[in-house]
Structure 1
């Protein structure tokens, strides 16, 4: 090899090492396995100075490989084309044996057949290496580079491609461990949810039993109201869990769902009356919408017990301000001197305890033909939205 050729070869190998280092940084920064799989063939093609490369994912149920990522292929190949997994194909041999396969002249190759996909694209030579799975005995698939010129792949090329495949293998293992951990967490959350739900149901049933067994009518009413509040807490918990135990909740949809729960639970009290909800779009932390739900329960229950006509629920949140929950009914029987802060009833005292924070509070607005309770609720400033 001439000095000039040796210099070119050295520069090429240095470029390959730089690509490896860059790809290693990429897999550490990026969480999406799909993005990493898409980047691998681009790096492989650049490092091998080839026009085409691909990642073949093994599909055991089909006994074939799927081209799950690639560069340089005609439209419709990536994500759809498949190749055989048998030992008579270069990729199949690399996959089964774990050994790299170099085919520097597919037209003269006697060990393997030329896959139709390669022939269609005019591929003359190919290099295949195994991409392992998360366990030593697992195999994810194959990383392959393909060229249409008459050059030759050598040992240094194999080392470069195996290094990329090793980084892919580590990434796949990390991804699978993360998925397994997430699945275990979901299972644990499901168990916790069931236990909380069962515990709340038990408390509700005990309170209802005590209410029915009490000879004191006032005590019985208080116990039944407490049972209803526990039912509301259970409904709020269940509604939040059904959103996927998310850290944030869309307030409008949450309030509408909760209003439906309240209407169903108080069907006998509703007696032909209707509940409507109008709400601005807003995203709140789950912990804060729990407070919002409890306040809504108390105000709607109060409107159904003491008010008349339609119960209208409205929620708004001017930019940078607290959320404002308004519950109106069509009654006008509330005493003129009624002040929520001085009310002795359990419901008003509960609301007072819930409405804490800057600007939080409850006031009454007497409108034409309606009485409205207006609650101001702060949400935590760290919440997105």
Structure 2
């Protein structure tokens, strides 16, 4: 067994070696060599390939150098720096052999002589190399190691989670105006040995960083045959880089860079000054080697310890073994699992509060599984998501309400989860996860994970996640089955809760609509009342004008006409006044109206009022305004005629006028106006007379689509039958 701390427990060297470097012959032209590098860069950075981070970094490093080989012997290298020097020279590169522009090999090593990846890293840092070629015992070229290949081989995520950007950043590097010619920028890159230039768009004294130009971009333009002396850097620069404060954690910055597909970020001071830049590999060149080695050693020891643990015995409850104590313990755990599921089902039946159900579920699952974190993660339509409920042990960073936009998920995992996939990971570092996925998990201290989908039909609602943070963890079969069944119960609870919320929302919406309708009705009622009030006022003004005008009239007949006109206007104004005062804006109480109208008429004939008795008999009848106005005018004319003409003898005291109104059947009414006076002249046809009042009575009766008859009786008796008219009457 390997002793803890021995070199062999550290990362093996093989993952840090790229066995497929670009190789060419020395007779190749410089132009062709640059074209090979440019094409390799184009293919490895194509967004459509959706490459994982570690693969993309390795491919970009591979494209940054071509190795010049004769037979199997390494004779030179042609890096981006040599390519930039050739381009900056302005010579015709198509006529120059690669052998004339390649660089010498500073150092080549045999992998067998290197104990681990950290030995490679030490050589790269000591020799200030970007590429370290590998040769075998016979000197044959076999591959290369770079900072990028080491990044993929070393698992340092727990270190990066706590490491501030200030400890991992590089110097700000080369800077130039965005308007500078690319040829001039390339010459600066050659002179300083830099592979990137940050571009500003304003005055140099107060630079506003607008983009980035990389050496590989210059190679691309050279391959396309563009005139680099006439092309400004801003025409091809990469977009503005994301920027962070120096105290931000490296792993958080990396995750944001991955989402924005940015190769590096800027570190900015609070005052807006540029402090430095960070790439995905810069920490490997800035941090202490012993620190890096210690973190990797700790991780590998924990992996080895976990691997050396005895595997679960056949006493697992799902295996059916029950004879041993382990089998009894397994049955007990299986019973507890069943009880947990039964309790969950009970919670669903007893409550429609989804937050309460989910919180209870994660709390009980975490306690049952004896793990540090259990959470439920809900997806948005764009496959980003939020931690909506969580149970976490003391001492671990809460993840509740955290929002994650993980581009890797949609590409690599979403489809599988929609088909019901369950992810069981005993250790994230040995499970073959993509680097971007590991980066996300490490932010939340995840070391082992058990994840099951929460499905609503074909819709992926979210994930139920059990995480172990302190060490690797072996998930047993019955634990996996428990989470699967629990996810089904949760899906049911969510569906019931969403249905309940939908019903409550519809009820609330209906209530809001009713309140809005009531409010609208109240507003309309107020408006209609205001209209009736204004109409009544206007009619009273007209009546007052007629009265004032009558003060200048000396002819009694003309005076009588003025008085009759006033009474007619008052009869209409009285209807609007009644409607204004009534709670029912559509109908008027005829009992009250007839009483008030008849007594108003009686009081208008002062002399007559002293010797004429008015008797009103009106049932509780309600008419709409279209019917009430002509009906009121008929009453006005017939009562006025009786008061003016039925009792010529001033000494007679037994004078009576009766007004009776009743309903014969639904919508069918009878109006009777009778007096015990002298009666109409013999032979008078009231329907064909020069009397304006009687003519109006006939006109209004026709308007009501009714009939009027003169009945035989002592005095005069008119009987008017009519139906209620208007849209409201037809609706009822």
Q: Deviations over 1:15-44 (max 9, x none)?
A: xxxxxxxxxxxxxxxxxxxxxxxxxxxxxx
Residue aligning to 1:371: 716
SS of structure 2 residue aligned to 1:310: strand
- CA pair 248-236 structure 1, distance change in 2 beyond 3 A: closer
Unaligned stretches of 5+ residues in structure 2: 1-333, 361-488, 648-654
CA apart distance, 1:252: 4.0
Aligned to 1:329, which of 675, 683, 689? 675
SS of structure 1 residue aligned to 2:615: strand
Q: Tell me if the contact between 2:701 and 2:707 (Cα under 8 Å) persists in the aligned partners.
A: yes
Residue aligning to 2:517: 178
Q: Distance in 2 between matches of 1:359 and 1:156?
A: 62
CA apart distance, 1:315: 2.2
SS of structure 1 residue aligned to 2:530: helix
Q: Tell me if the contact between 2:595 and 2:616 (Cα under 8 Å) persists in the aligned partners.
A: yes
CA apart distance, 1:201: 1.2
Residue aligning to 2:428: none
Q: Deviations over 1:98-148 (max 9, x none)?
A: x9556999xxxxxxxxxxxxxxxxxxxxxxxxxxxxxxxxxxxxxxxxxxx
Q: Deviations over 1:286-325 (max 9, x none)?
A: 3112211110111111111122412111223434785321
Q: Tell me if the contact between 1:285 and 1:383 (Cα under 8 Å) persists in the aligned partners.
A: no
Residue aligning to 1:202: 541
Q: Tell me if the contact between 1:284 and 1:384 (Cα under 8 Å) persists in the aligned partners.
A: no
Residue aligning to 1:192: 531
- CA pair 191-337 structure 1, distance change in 2 beyond 3 A: same
Residue aligning to 1:40: none
CA apart distance, 1:187: 2.4
Q: Distance in 2 between matches of 1:49 and 1:263?
A: 76
1:338 and 2:684 are equivalent in the alignment? yes
SS of structure 2 residue aligned to 1:300: helix
Please say which of residues 154-163 and 328-337 is displaced more in the overlay.
154-163
SS of structure 2 residue aligned to 1:335: coil
1:307 and 2:646 are equivalent in the alignment? yes
- CA pair 259-167 structure 1, distance change in 2 beyond 3 A: same
CA apart distance, 1:251: 4.1
- CA pair 159-319 structure 1, distance change in 2 beyond 3 A: closer
Query: How high is the TM-score relative to the length of structure 2?
Result: 0.31
Q: Distance in 2 between matches of 1:100 and 1:271?
A: 83
Q: Distance in 2 between matches of 1:321 and 1:244?
A: 21
Residue aligning to 2:699: 353
Q: Distance in 2 between matches of 1:300 and 1:348?
A: 11
Residue aligning to 1:289: 628
Q: Distance in 2 between matches of 1:378 and 1:179?
A: 32
- The 5-angstrom pairing of residues 219-234 of structure 1 reads 219-234=558-573
Q: Distance in 2 between matches of 1:49 and 1:259?
A: 71
Unaligned stretches of 5+ residues in structure 1: 13-47, 54-93, 106-150
Aligned to 2:557, which of 206, 210, 218? 218
SS of structure 2 residue aligned to 1:373: strand
Q: Distance in 2 between matches of 1:194 and 1:249?
A: 15
Q: Deviations over 1:355-376 (max 9, x none)?
A: 10697343322424x3212223
SS of structure 2 residue aligned to 1:213: coil
- CA pair 49-283 structure 1, distance change in 2 beyond 3 A: farther
SS of structure 2 residue aligned to 1:326: strand
SS of structure 1 residue aligned to 2:642: helix
Aligned to 1:277, which of 616, 623, 631? 616
- CA pair 209-243 structure 1, distance change in 2 beyond 3 A: same
- The 5-angstrom pairing of residues 1-385 of structure 1 reads 154-266=493-605, 268-280=607-619, 282-308=621-647, 309-319=655-665, 322-356=668-702, 360-368=706-714, 370-380=715-725, 382-383=729-730
Residue aligning to 1:131: none
Q: Deviations over 1:330-384 (max 9, x none)?
A: 112431122211221221121122110697343322424x321222333338447
Q: Distance in 2 between matches of 1:358 and 1:159?
A: 58
SS of structure 2 residue aligned to 1:192: helix
Q: Distance in 2 between matches of 1:100 and 1:310?
A: 81
Q: Number of aligned pairs? A: 251
SS of structure 2 residue aligned to 1:318: strand
CA apart distance, 1:203: 0.8
- CA pair 331-199 structure 1, distance change in 2 beyond 3 A: same
SS of structure 2 residue aligned to 1:341: coil
CA apart distance, 1:193: 1.9
Q: Distance in 1 between matches of 2:705 and 2:508?
A: 54
